[in-house]
Structure 1
Amino acid sequence: MVVAAGADLFAGALAAQAVPVTRVDWRPPLPGTADDLTRVLADPRREEANRIAVSRLLAAGARLVAVRPAREALGLEPGRFLHAGPPIDWEHASGPMRGALVGAMLFEGLAATPEEAERRLARGEAELTPCHHHNAVGPMAGVVSPSMWMFELEDPVHGGRSWCSLNEGLGKVLRYGAFGPEVIERLHWMASVLGPLLSTVVRAHGPVDIRAIIAQMLEMGDEGHNRNRAGTLMLLRELLAELIECGAPAGAVAQVVRFVSGNDHFFLNLVMPACKLALDAARGVPGSTLVVAMARNGTEFGIQVSGTGDRWFTGPAQVPEGMYLGSYGPGDANPDIGDSAITETAGIGGFAMAAAPAIVRFVGGEVRDALDATRRMYEITLAENPAYQVPVLDFRATPTGIDVTKVVRTGVLPQINTGIAGRVAGTGQVGAGLVTPPAQCFTSALGALARDAPPLG
């Protein structure tokens, strides 16, 4: 019997000569990480720390309890904006991030023209902070301004709260960096009609169990990141009676129903804060190597780890590979952007692509690629989430809890499926595809964990 690792050439030659061969899928750790890896793996706190962090993640609940404007929910004041990803300033912001900030200035009445908005932003007249620093998440550019309405979720198990803006739909929308008149007009309608109506409806209905809807939608062909069709329709069904009976004008009710039912991504903005709640519950466990956030601002990709507090470990954001709309192509694409990778961090989205093989029509590839992506993610995770199951894998639970040490040891990077924003401000969405984080996020995090670990011996 021969055990073979690495390239199949040697194993194939032996097998052709009738020699019994056991193939082992072994890969060396990422370059330059041996010492840090040894130190972290030897940390006596690690096993128990990860057990605690994972148990908190898996136990967390998520209920929609309110819909409120950001100035009320998050205390945002005029001139303060939240954004996706790790911290960034105007000088280093990408095209779609700049476009979204310009649009937010116009929407808030802080500038009369895009040119004036750009000048004021360049002079530092707006304060920019990450959504994650406010227990919030934002898709794509993730820009949140005081007048935007937010979903508010609570975790009844650990007591946490999280927020996310309402989803605008696809195409030329603020989160993809568009800021034309139709974008601003839609935002005003969302602030004057959609937000207040949803607030009234949720208050009349009572808390909505978002975690339960996520579990059901995974069994109905959604994966929770770029496919949320079943989730959106289940939410609408849940709230429809209260919406009809809320006393609003029939025309306004019809507008809301038409908008939500025609926007397959509407539920994404509830999936994201639900995932944020679960991962926030796992934060702050000394010695834990569990990743609790992956986020991108269009320039940098950043991760946070349970055992290293609120520190960001960053690397250059990559351009997704995928399918493009109309005449757009790779040259039109901005590097990866958005907080929506919180879904993969929690074990759905790209980690649950096997539950939604139709997703390949949106992000590219074949059905086999979706199945392989989910199977590969089991190699780098600490657990499986029994709440979220994949029918085509015999209802196996989704791979959950990215482990820094497993990523570094295997070289397997987390799989993310994502929309693609145009690199030029104002363009909007140009496609959708697949992407992975830069490896240096994980090697940097490993180095920090190694420095925090007790001395060997």
Structure 2
Amino acid sequence: MNTLFTQPLKVVNAGLQSFASNIQKVGGDVTALSWQPPAQGDVAAGLDLAALLCHPRVEQANQIAMERYLNAQPALVDVMFAHEAIPAMAERKLILHSGPPISWENMCGPVKGAIVGAMLFEGWATSHEQAECLILAGDISLEPCHHYHAVGPMAGIISPSMPLWVIENKTNGQRAFSNFNEGLGKVLRFGANNDEVLNRLSWMRDELAPALKAAVHQLGELELKPLMAQALHMGDEVHNRNAAATGLLIKRLLPALLSCNLPLDNVQRVVAFITGNDHFFLNLSMAACKAMMDAAANVPFSSMVTVMARNGVNFGIRLSGTGDQWFQAPANAVEGLFFPGYGVNDAAADLGDSAITETAGVGGFAMASSPAIVKFVGGTPADATNNSRRMQAITLGGNPAFTLPALNFAPTAAGIDARKVADRGILPVINTGIAHKQAGVGQIGAGITTAPMTCFVEAIRVLAKEVQNGDKA
């Protein structure tokens, strides 16, 4: 014991950095560990977490969910109007929005503006005031896209007359849907609803959709995982950067379009619209990821996250093992780069269903493949690589279909495990656009955010009860 006090002091400090700093100031050799209590220091939740770690039921369920996700083969098979693809939209006046459920009174500005725009587009109202009166009277149903196997970026609005991409998982026949990408500027997904927006939506319904439907039928079907994988090798991460994926899509669609005997001026307008929008593939990427995650859903006792989504107010997640239940918390702020003239005070909270890409292991999880994305969302190429590496600590494994050249072609981290998130204090990273908090202003920047820890802690509590009940049965 006496010899111990005569040796140089070497300390491992877990917790507050200030403790380590004080030891360093007096000449001590200290290794600082970034550590915090699991489950936000909640003792009861920590005990629930401990019961789930290495639990055989959970481990087996996660293996099944992960296999279903990996085996999913999403393919573009059709273009349909929403009222055709989603039967509930033919039965009542239904508008779908992004994120978890939320009442009209609590919605953010861009989502409210987009819903009003959809009602004007459908002819259900002739003014903003009339639209709001119909909503408050209960004449319009407002529900999340995810409740109908659908996804939409930003406000995520889908109304009955809007065309949808139809993605089918060829492994199980289940379908997922997404609306069309409108491009940048004044668009519905940011809450704009003027004549320019409504005229564009009408053109997309009347001319773009029939042309793309004909092209898809001419093509037969288009497997999306190989296209996404190729785009990752070309500098995309298929969330905020889709330039390569859109180009690859055009290579396949254009010959089919030219074979459909459509009027030349029609084809010219369609091609000009697609080539003028580098984000055109985003909605296909989202629907493909939705199809992959739906394949992993509803496996009893699984702690795998199958949905992450935001509505501009709250962030919500779903676990495979807890069915359709949402776990919500206030959405985290987005840290990033703002367009000139805008700042943090102008921004809406995190918004959109596009975090389904990160849920499926691309987007922010694949930033190492897209170093150029940091020019858009902030940070450095090293930050992008570190984000991809860090996500390996909170996932069940990797997806060999999606590989990252910058990491020696390692598979992207995939299969977010709520247990690991709560235990290790590492939150899923998401790169995202930033919307102005007022309807119609549009995108004002882009950056990086994370899912709130509270969602995962609450999910752990519920899953632990499910597993406990299963053990008793």
Equivalent pairs counted in the alignment come to 456
What one-letter code is carried by the residue in structure 2 that aligns with 1:389? T
> TM-score under structure 2 normalisation?
0.92
Q: Deviations over 1:64-107 (max 9, x none)?
A: 00001101111213621111111112111110110110100111
Q: Secondary structure at the match of 1:259?
A: helix
- Equivalent residue, structure 1, for 2:132: 118
Q: Deviations over 1:387-417 (max 9, x none)?
A: 0011111111101011111000111111011
- Equivalent residue, structure 2, for 1:272: 286
Give how far 1:252 is off. Answer: 1.2
Residue 201 (str. 1) matches residue 188 (str. 2): no
Give how far 1:8 is off. Answer: 9.3
Counterpart Cα distance in 2 of 1:129 and 1:394: 43
Flag structure 1 segments of 5+ consecutive residues without an equivalent.
Answer: none
Residue 162 (str. 1) matches residue 171 (str. 2): no
Give how far 1:242 is off. Answer: 1.4
Residue 311 (str. 1) matches residue 325 (str. 2): yes
Counterpart Cα distance in 2 of 1:330 and 1:23: 32
Residue 53 (str. 1) matches residue 96 (str. 2): no
- Equivalent residue, structure 2, for 1:224: 238
Q: Deviations over 1:322-354 (max 9, x none)?
A: 222231221111111111100000000011111
CA contact (8 A) 1:43 1:454 kept: no
Q: Deviations over 1:114-153 (max 9, x none)?
A: 2322222232221111111111111111110011000001
Q: Secondary structure at the match of 1:419?
A: strand
Flag structure 2 segments of 5+ consecutive residues without an equivalent.
Answer: 1-8
Distance 1:182 1:71, change over 3 A: same
- For the aligned residue pairs, the C-alpha RMSD in angstroms reads 2.2
CA contact (8 A) 2:365 2:430 kept: yes
Counterpart Cα distance in 1 of 2:196 and 2:314: 29
Percentage of identical aligned residues: 49
CA contact (8 A) 1:39 1:453 kept: no
What one-letter code is carried by the residue in structure 1 that aligns with 2:41? P
- Equivalent residue, structure 1, for 2:415: 401
Query: Which aligned pairs between 1:243-262 and structure 2 lie closer than 5 A?
Result: 243-262=257-276
CA contact (8 A) 1:300 1:315 kept: yes
Residue 39 (str. 1) matches residue 51 (str. 2): yes
- Equivalent residue, structure 1, for 2:164: 150
Query: Which aligned pairs between 1:76-115 and structure 2 lie closer than 5 A?
Result: 76-77=89-90, 79-115=93-129
CA contact (8 A) 1:4 1:11 kept: no
What one-letter code is carried by the residue in structure 2 that aligns with 1:35? L
Counterpart Cα distance in 1 of 2:35 and 2:327: 26
CA contact (8 A) 1:177 1:421 kept: no
Counterpart Cα distance in 2 of 1:191 and 1:5: 61
- Equivalent residue, structure 2, for 1:131: 145
- Equivalent residue, structure 2, for 1:389: 403
Give how far 1:424 is off. Answer: 1.2
Residue 64 (str. 1) matches residue 81 (str. 2): no
Give how far 1:154 is off. Answer: 0.7
Residue 328 (str. 1) matches residue 337 (str. 2): no
CA contact (8 A) 2:152 2:158 kept: yes
CA contact (8 A) 2:236 2:244 kept: yes
Give how far 1:284 is off. Answer: 1.3
Q: Secondary structure at the match of 2:164?
A: strand
Q: Secondary structure at the match of 1:331?
A: helix
CA contact (8 A) 1:293 1:304 kept: yes
Counterpart Cα distance in 1 of 2:251 and 2:299: 39
Residue 345 (str. 1) matches residue 392 (str. 2): no
> TM-score under structure 1 normalisation?
0.95
Give how far 1:23 is off. Answer: 7.0
Distance 1:24 1:55, change over 3 A: farther
- Out of 445, 450, 453, the position equivalent to 2:464 is 450
- Out of 418, 421, 437, the position equivalent to 2:432 is 418
CA contact (8 A) 2:11 2:28 kept: no
- Equivalent residue, structure 2, for 1:4: 12
- Out of 315, 318, 321, the position equivalent to 1:301 is 315
CA contact (8 A) 2:154 2:352 kept: yes
Give how far 1:420 is off. Answer: 1.2
- Out of 189, 192, 205, the position equivalent to 2:203 is 189
